[in-house]
Amino acid sequence: MSEAKNIAVRSQTDASHHPSVSPSTFHSPSSGLGGALRGLEKQLKPFNTQDIKILLLENVNQSGKDILKAQGYQVEALKASLPEDQLIEKIRDIHVIGIRSKTKLTAKVLGEAKNLLVIGCFCIGTNQVDLDFAAHHGIAVFNSPFANSRSVAELVIAEIITLARQLGDRSNEMHNGTWNKVSAKCWEIRGKTLGIVGYGHIGSQLSVLAEAMGMSVIYYDVVNLMAMGTAQQVPSLEQLLNEADFVTLHVPEVPETKNMIAAPQLAQMKDGAYLINASRGMVVDIPALINAMRSGKIAGAALDVYPNEPRANGDYFNNTLNGWEEDLRSVKNIILTPHIGGSTEEAQRAIGVEVGEALVRYINQGSTLGSVNMPEVNLRSLTPDEPNHARVIYIHKNVPGVLRKVNEILGNHNVDKQISDSKGDIAYLMADVSDVQTSDIKDIYDSLDALSSRILVRVLY
């Protein structure tokens, strides 16, 4: 059997877009029994490994780089994001791109990607990617939705205490040589009420930490969720804003959450309350927050995210970004951090491992488990005892009659196992075919490639 290779092609609808067709305690999830069993898998390398080109942007953690390099892929890693024109130039020939939150993979950018198979978002969010365009062009997207939950929760606890004691202002004064020992409007957090908007993985972990600090916890979510400890769910955002001394936001960026905290909501908060946003920059109307803080309605705030953020580190947080940066910096008792909620060594290593391994599984095995824009499909791995097998992957339009036509093509061969699932108008099929030779694989590929429903065909062998 020749060296494992991949045959992949996108649909004819792509023609216009593709003119030329903590260190001492951290453990990788691949360790232990799962890692031992992995050695029994037949390794399906989808290209000659030295030909797989991967571009990693925004300083992806070394753990992710190591996993990808260990496969023999060509990995180029850059510390910053790229301007659109440079990103388009880079993306034309690569098979995999890994990003964090600053890189924008729009339809315009993705439309220039001739060979792109998969996108890895080494972060929680995926709103920086046009997921629908990617799916309709056979490009899977993976992220790491939970790995940095603890890091964000701990940051919020630190900010609650810092705001309650005005530590940021006192520290700045001391750095400027001013001794200002005061207790006015400085509080313990014990006995205060924390209102959590969005009770997912971060919100629920934060709930436990806050109760351990002696706080009472209420939360609001669009679905009914079981409370941790003695926390209580409230039926409306308005009730939470009326009752909470501290309000912290942990929601995704969707149309419903844009400016969900604006002037009317700030007016509903208790006089002297505090606001924390470590979710997405568009969730808070920042000019309205500036006005509420200057009037004394809001006693303090902590912001880790902003509508428009710099693409790289440096002296870029100025009025050229959003137009209100100078006003924001002039407000008292406000903590401004550069989107570091998940920026701990533990979280970034875990994210690197989770997304890196998801990319390897997709490239080498075709597994879409964990994909945010494709049906989640997986087959048992082939073993070394199955040498003359090929794995057929058929991404197609979810229209009637496709499976019948695919099975007619595969019906001339022994199909050991097959699975198919759909998500909206996109469907994903995997099948393992045994006792095939190179000529058989070419026939299967050519036949599937000719179907009008085809988005992308891959054959791994």
CA atoms within 13 A on the CB side of 435: 5
Catalytic residues: 280, 309, 339
Res. 367: pLDDT tops 50: yes
For residue range 278-331, list pLDDT tens digits in order: 999 999 999 999 999 999 999 999 999 999 999 888 999 999 999 999 999 999
Helices (H), 225-344: 237-243, 263-268, 286-294, 325-329
* pLDDT exceeds 70 at position 169: yes
pLDDT of residue 383: 82
Query: 195-253 pLDDT, tens per residue?
Result: 999 999 999 999 999 999 999 999 999 999 999 999 999 999 999 999 999 999 999 99
| Nearest to 68, CA basis, from 54, 51, 81 | 54
Nearest to 422 by CA among 376, 454, 362, 458: 376
- Please provide the average confidence, as pLDDT, over all residues in the chain: 90
Residue 92 near residue 127, CB atoms below 8 Å: no
Reduced to 3 states, what is the DSSP secondary structure of residue 299?
strand
Q: Please report the sign of the dihedral spanned by the C-alpha atoms of residue 224, residue 225, residue 226, residue 229.
A: negative
Q: Which amino acid is at 146?
A: F
- Which residue intervals of the chain bear CATH 3.40.50.720? 6-146+346-460, 151-336
Q: Which fold has domain 6-146+346-460?
A: Rossmann fold (3.40.50)
Residue 282, number of CB atoms within 10 A of its CB = 19
- What is the layout of strands, in order, in the sheet containing 334-336? 232-233, 216-220, 193-197, 246-249, 273-277, 298-303, 334-336
| Each residue's pLDDT tens digit, 21-36 | 233 333 333 333 334 3
CA angle 264, 268, 271 (to 5 degrees): 125
What digits encode the pLDDT tens for the residues 379-407?
988 888 877 889 999 999 999 999 999 99
Spatial separation of the C-alpha atoms in residues 278 and 56, rounded to whole Å: 25
Q: Which fold has domain 151-336?
A: Rossmann fold (3.40.50)
The 10s digit of each residue's pLDDT in 223-234 is 999 999 999 999
- The rounded Cα 323 to chain-centroid distance in angstroms is 28
Cα torsion angle, 288, 294, 296, 299, sign: positive
pLDDT grade for 50, boundaries at 50, 70 and 90: low
Q: Hey, what are 331's tokens?
A: 């407000």
